[in-house]
């Protein structure tokens, strides 16, 4: 019983002195830190987002967004800002190019040569058509 | 840039039944999307004897057909016209469709005959090679 009292008491004293030394050291360091270093530290920590209102931000892709962060909830709403869509003339898509083969042609050894030849013919006809 | 394989299939066709697992295995190995399109009653089994059945069209034979096909038109021109009029869809048909960044392209293979094992092996080999080449050209691997 006595030994435990000594143990706990000595532990408490050591803890107190250690906390005192550390706090004093921190205080001394903050007093001796230069103004420039303090400014840099303040800049590194970003300001918390305002909650409960819509505020404007820009995404890394360069798109403007309006963001709302909930005050008492984790709700986040992002609305992209409207942007101008340039009016461009509609260009119709090209129709697919089809090459037809039968099973006997596809199972022959010269199939790839035939595909190449047919593709060249199709390109030639396309150029003539243009 | 996509690449896909489509099989136009009939439920009651025994050749389609043999072709489906073969194609599925090839596409699974190469990781290419594979879909099966089951046709309706008006579909027609492909006749492979004459390659003029490529498009079932008189105009196609007139423009691109060989002289023997044009001669054969006299005999089966009426059949081609009928097939065009009814809009018959053939089966089994393998469609390999891809987009190379400029326009979509398709290779259409009509018919399948599993009676000759050597031909089926050659056909499988050619298909694998074609799909691997297309994949390499489009995706780089």
pLDDT by residue for chain B (141 residues), tens only, comes to: 789 999 998 888 888 889 999 999 999 999 999 999 988 776 766 655 555 455 557 887 787 777 887 888 888 888 888 877 776 777 889 999 998 888 888 998 988 888 889 999 999 999 999 999 999 888 877
Complex ipTM more than 0.90, yes or no: no
pLDDT at B13: 84
Q: Is A6 on the interface with B (CB under 8 A)?
A: no
Cα-trace Rg, chain A? 38
Contacts of B127 in chain A (CB under 8 A): 106
Q: Is B107 on the interface with A (CB under 8 A)?
A: yes
- Model pTM score: 0.56
Inter-residue contact A65 to A57 (CB < 8 Å): yes
CB contact under 8 A, B103 and A97: yes
pLDDT at B124: 94
Distances in Å between the Cα of B25 and the Cα atoms of A115, B15, B31, B95, B141 are 24, 16, 10, 16, 19
Q: Is B112 on the interface with A (CB under 8 A)?
A: yes
pLDDT at B47: 57
Token pair of B38, please? 């089951």
Q: Is A107 on the interface with B (CB under 8 A)?
A: yes
Token pair of B63, please? 């423009």
pLDDT at B46: 66
CB contact under 8 A, B48 and A103: yes
Disruptive mutation site among A93, A94, A95, A106 for chain B (greatest number of B CBs within 10 Å): A106
pLDDT at A37: 82
- Collect all residues with Cβ–Cβ distance below 8 Å to A119 and sequence separation of at least 6: A97, A99
């Amino acid at each position: 019983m006595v030994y435990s009292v000594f143990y706990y008491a000595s532990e408490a004293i050591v803890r107190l002195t250690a906390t005192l030394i550390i706090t004093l050291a921190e205080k001394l360091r903050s007093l001796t830190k230069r103004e420039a270093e303090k400014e840099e530290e303040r800049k590194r920590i970003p300001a918390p987002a305002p909650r409960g209102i819509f505020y404007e931000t820009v995404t890394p892709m360069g798109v403007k967004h309006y963001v709302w962060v909930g005050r008492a909830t984790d709700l986040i709403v992002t609305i992209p800002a409207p942007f101008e869509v340039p009016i461009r003339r509609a260009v119709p898509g090209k129709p697919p190019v089809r090459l037809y083969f039968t099973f006997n042609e596809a199972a022959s050894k010269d199939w790839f040569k035939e595909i190449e030849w047919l593709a060249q013919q199709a390109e030639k006809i396309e150029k003539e058509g243009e | 840039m996509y690449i896909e394989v489509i099989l136009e299939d009939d439920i009651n066709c025994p050749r389609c039944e043999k072709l489906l697992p073969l194609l599925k295995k090839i596409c699974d190995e190469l990781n290419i999307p594979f879909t099966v399109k089951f046709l309706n009653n008006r579909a027609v089994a492909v006749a492979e004897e004459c390659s003029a059945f490529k498009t079932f069209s008189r105009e196609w034979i007139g423009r691109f057909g060989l002289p023997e096909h044009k001669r054969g038109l006299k005999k089966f021109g009426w059949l081609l016209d009928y097939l065009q009029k009814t809009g018959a869809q053939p089966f089994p048909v393998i469609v390999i469709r891809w987009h190379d960044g400029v326009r979509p392209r398709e290779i259409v293979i009509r018919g399948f005959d599993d009676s000759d094992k050597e031909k089926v092996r050659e056909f499988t080999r050619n298909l694998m090679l074609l799909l691997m080449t297309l994949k390499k050209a489009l995706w780089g691997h």
